[in-house]
Amino acid sequence: MSATTAPAWTKPQQQANWLVRLFDWKPFLAFACLLPAAGLLLVFLTYPLGLGIWLAFTDTTIGRSGYWVGLENFQYLLEDPLWWNAVFYSVFYTGIATIGKFALGLWLALLLNNHLPFKSLLRAIILLPWIVPTVLSAIAFWWIYDPQFSIISFLLVDKLGILDNYIDFLGSAWPARFSLIAANIWRGIPFVAISLLAGLQTISPSLYEAALLDGSTGWQRFRYITFPMLMPILAIVMTFSIIFTFTDFQLVYAITRGGPVNSTHLLATLAFQRGIPGGQLGEGAAIAVSMIPFLVFATLFSYYGLARRKWQQGEGND
Amino acid sequence: MHIIQRRAALKLGLSAAALTAFGASAQTPIQAAAVPEPNLPIESGATLRMLRPVRFVQPDEEVFRANAAKFTQKTGVQVRIDFVGWEDITQQTAVTANTGAGPDMIIGFGDAPHIYVDKLVELTDVADYLGKRYGGWLALAQRYGKKHASSSWIGLPFGATAGPTIYRKSAVTAAGFDRVPDDHAAYLDLCKKLKAANKPAGFALGNAVGDGNGFANWLVWSHGGYLVDEEGKVAINSKETLNALNYLKELYPTFLPGTLSWGDISNNRAYAASECWMTANGVSLYFSVKNDPATAAIAADSEHQLLPKGILSESPMSGLTLNAMLFKHSRYPNASKAFLQFMLEREQYDPWLNANLGYWAHPLANYDASAVWTSDPKVALFKDTMRSTFYNGYKGPLSEATGAATADYVMVQMCAAVASGQSTPEAAAREAERRARRYFRR
């Protein structure tokens, strides 16, 4: 076989116009495709966030633009017992409510994962508390917790005669705090339960079969199969849940308005109370900004603490 | 003969002039002086939007809308009126003022025009006209309508509602009193006896715009205390306030349970259910029990009385005032002014006043003659609501800060902290002072 001696074929040089070349240039294309999303984020996320942070360093009130006051707002908050009280209750509220929601939500998910009659109908009903607008359920709870006309007091005192006096749910600090947490848990369970149910259904039944052949108990199957396999989705759901709970506003504002005597103010309701009815936009913004470190910490915790396991990323044993 | 005729003619002319001037017209007993109207050429193509607090009695809304429709008929200007919940009106006013967009006019509460004064159109021409025409603005109306220490009007008060004591005659009589006593010691004694008879009194100590501030203000004022002095310096941490808070420590245990979480509506419900036998409220409570056959007996047994005077010579009771304001961002300021003026003229205002059954008391002196004040003897008390010299933020100038301190419940929470046992009176007064200082720092 002789080597071919034909001259190498060359592509006719076609000069594409500059627009085509520009769009063929990968960095530009990526930039152009990102632009709409980035624009939306800038306008609707970065700008309000930036404005909020800027306001926190001014003494703006409603009706008057403010002057730069540096850290004055934050210094005031640090010596403001109401702010400390709101920090405490926000953390407490988030902590207890999250534990409650996940304990009950996981339990509910496990129950729903069994074969039940009317499975889909049941799952739809479970979602109801989550679907109902928060303010509506808040008003329902407001009635349930009413000092004079509570259905719970009515049942316990007038119908069953277990108690002698009506329960004063919202009249003093601790009962009010726990009442709100109960309302939040009731509202949050469906989200957790349905999300975890979705996670449960991705777990391969063959794992359970293998475990059964090995003679495992129910608790062992939960502890060594269900729970680890659920971990990734648990981490995501928990991150969301913590953020939603920490920034909760409607339930508290509709039921207690932060009372009695400010004992149930969350940072979000306190920020609103100071910023809008109180008119101190700068101070309200400072309170809102003071939530950011907590949120960042909570997000990092649930993300790194729960999700970054080696085996989840395919790197062998844990 | 000639002379007599001329005199007769003169008399006739005079009485005709008097008739037009003080026209005692058939529909309304309200006197009105003939005063030239301010010149307000309505902009062409004007349409108006107004926000106002939601009604308490149904005819309020009906008559208000009918009056607005009359204005549309007369001028061709469409007016859209939105009724907003009481607790939302503050926020909506804030947003409107801050964004410079939204309704042309808002009827807000008392201090609002003083908070947003930079964003408002002055209403002095309309106010002066109405004042001259209807015998002058009453004390509370002047306080809320005019900028501090000036004669320029930034708000047009539409009426005020006060929350006097409403009590069950039978319970107070059974406790051995013929009326609610004015001095603190006897008042406490009455409350104790009511509690002992299981017919307790109750006053809102929760974050309630009207009732909560009403009670907290009464408590402090009737002991001679006040939030700020005449110059606007914070003066809440005083001996008088401590007296008031120490008094509250004894008074609070006589209330029915739960008042710390009471909102504006809670005492109405408790009173109508005969759980609470003495409270302070606007006339709405009386009518709601009167109009429901199930509770009509409660209304028959109810009496109104001004809040106890305490150590003062006048009952320290501020009125929650409807205060109309006109925003600079309105494209039709003349039409808006004409509308506000139209609504306060006797042909419109008197029917509206009557429709409210006494819930709102008039800001202009001549409306004293309105039929509403003789319609039910139990309501007559409310006629003088706007003659009060007490107001939220007494006795400083109304400002952004007084409004903010009221909206942030500084006084209410001071009282609630003591009532709940969370703070000592000294600590609560110091805390109120600290919070008030922050608001009054400029």
B351 and B214 co-located in one domain: no
pTM listed for this prediction: 0.79
In this complex, the residue of B90, B258, B438 whose CB is nearest that of residue A171 is B258
Contact A260 B256 (CB under 8 A): no
What chain B residue is nearest to A143 in terms of C-alpha separation?
A: B266
Nearest chain A CA: its distance from B119 CA (Å): 7
| pLDDT for position B59 | 87
- Chain B hits for A262, Cβ within 8 Å: 413
Q: Is residue A294 part of a domain?
A: yes
- Chain B hits for A284, Cβ within 8 Å: none
**CATH number reported for the structural domain that contains residue A275 in this entry:** 1.10.3720.10
Closest listed residue to residue A279, CA positions, set B53, B442, B95, B210: B95
Nearest chain A CA: its distance from B417 CA (Å): 6
B281 and B335 co-located in one domain: no
B137 and B228 co-located in one domain: no
The strand ranges marked E within chain A are none
| pLDDT for position B26 | 44
B305 and B273 co-located in one domain: yes
CB contact, 8 Å: B157 with chain A? no
Nearest chain A CA: its distance from B229 CA (Å): 21
CB contact, 8 Å: A63 with chain B? yes
In this complex, the residue of B90, B97, B413 whose CB is nearest that of residue A63 is B97
CB contact, 8 Å: B411 with chain A? no
A 248-307: CB under 8 A from B = 256-263, 273-274, 276-281
HSE (side-chain half, CA atoms, 13 Å) at B279: 32
Contact B275 A278 (CB under 8 A): no
Q: With a cut of 50, which residues of chain B have pLDDT below it?
A: 1-26
CB contact, 8 Å: A179 with chain B? no
Contact A62 B416 (CB under 8 A): no
Residue B107 CB contacts under 8 Å (≥ 6 apart), including other chains: B50, B51, B52, B53, B158, B322, B323, B324, B325
Contact A63 B207 (CB under 8 A): no
Q: Is residue A45 part of a domain?
A: no
**CATH number reported for the structural domain that contains residue B333 in this entry:** 3.40.190.10
Q: Is residue A271 part of a domain?
A: yes
B310 and B325 co-located in one domain: no
Contact A147 B266 (CB under 8 A): yes
| pLDDT for position A315 | 53
B134 and B149 co-located in one domain: yes
| pLDDT for position A148 | 80
- Chain B hits for A256, Cβ within 8 Å: 261
CB contact, 8 Å: B403 with chain A? yes
Q: Is residue B136 part of a domain?
A: yes
B345 and B414 co-located in one domain: no
Q: Is residue A61 part of a domain?
A: no
Size of interface A-B (CB pairs under 8 A): 108
Contact A273 B408 (CB under 8 A): yes
Q: Is the pLDDT confidence value at A118 over 90?
A: no
Query: pLDDT: is A289 or A22 the higher one?
Result: A289
A 148-177: CB under 8 A from B = 148-149, 165-166, 168-173, 176
Contact B257 A171 (CB under 8 A): yes
Contact B207 A258 (CB under 8 A): yes
Q: Is residue B6 part of a domain?
A: no
Note down the domain range covering A291: 81-309
| pLDDT for position A93 | 95
B312 and B262 co-located in one domain: yes
Contact B98 A262 (CB under 8 A): no
pLDDT tens for A69-115 read 889 999 999 988 899 999 999 999 999 999 999 999 999 998 888 88
Looking at the structure of chain A, the number of domains it has is 1
Q: Is residue A186 part of a domain?
A: yes
CB contact, 8 Å: A139 with chain B? no
DSSP string, A217-285: -HHHHIIIIIHHHHHHHHHHHHHHHHHHHHT--HHHHHHTTT-STTTT--HHHHHHHHHTTS--HHHHH
In this complex, the residue of A61, A146, A257 whose CB is nearest that of residue B207 is A257
Contact B261 A276 (CB under 8 A): no
In this complex, the residue of A146, A166, A279 whose CB is nearest that of residue B403 is A279
| pLDDT for position B7 | 45
Nearest chain B CA: its distance from A75 CA (Å): 13
B229 and B302 co-located in one domain: yes
In this complex, the residue of A148, A166, A279 whose CB is nearest that of residue B400 is A279
Contact A76 B420 (CB under 8 A): no
Contact B118 A64 (CB under 8 A): yes
Q: Is residue B231 part of a domain?
A: yes
B311 and B328 co-located in one domain: no
In this complex, the residue of B98, B207, B258 whose CB is nearest that of residue A148 is B258
B120 and B260 co-located in one domain: no
Nearest chain B CA: its distance from A68 CA (Å): 15
B310 and B428 co-located in one domain: yes
pLDDT tens for A152-187 read 888 888 888 888 888 888 888 899 999 999 999 999
What chain A residue is nearest to B423 in terms of C-alpha separation?
A: A261
What chain A residue is nearest to B90 in terms of C-alpha separation?
A: A277
Note down the domain range covering B399: 165-318+395-439
Q: Is residue B343 part of a domain?
A: yes
CB contact, 8 Å: B118 with chain A? yes
- Give CA separation, A207 vs A106, A198, A307, B100, in Å: 20, 17, 21, 63
Looking at the structure of chain B, the number of domains it has is 2
Contact A279 B91 (CB under 8 A): no
Contact B261 A259 (CB under 8 A): yes
Q: Is residue B274 part of a domain?
A: yes
Q: Is residue B68 part of a domain?
A: yes
Q: Is residue B22 part of a domain?
A: no
| pLDDT for position A312 | 52
Displacement of CA B328 from its chain's centroid (Å)? 25
Contact A259 B273 (CB under 8 A): no
Phi, psi of B28 (to 5 degrees): -135, 135
- Give CA separation, A281 vs A51, A59, A65, B100, B117, in Å: 11, 7, 9, 16, 17
In this complex, the residue of B116, B260, B431 whose CB is nearest that of residue A260 is B260
Nearest chain A CA: its distance from B323 CA (Å): 17
- Chain A hits for B202, Cβ within 8 Å: none
Q: Which of B111, B116, B198, B261 to mutate to test the interface with A (most CBs of A within 10 A)?
A: B261
In this complex, the residue of A149, A259, A281 whose CB is nearest that of residue B269 is A149
Contact B260 A173 (CB under 8 A): no
The residue from B387, B405, B427 where one domain ends is B387
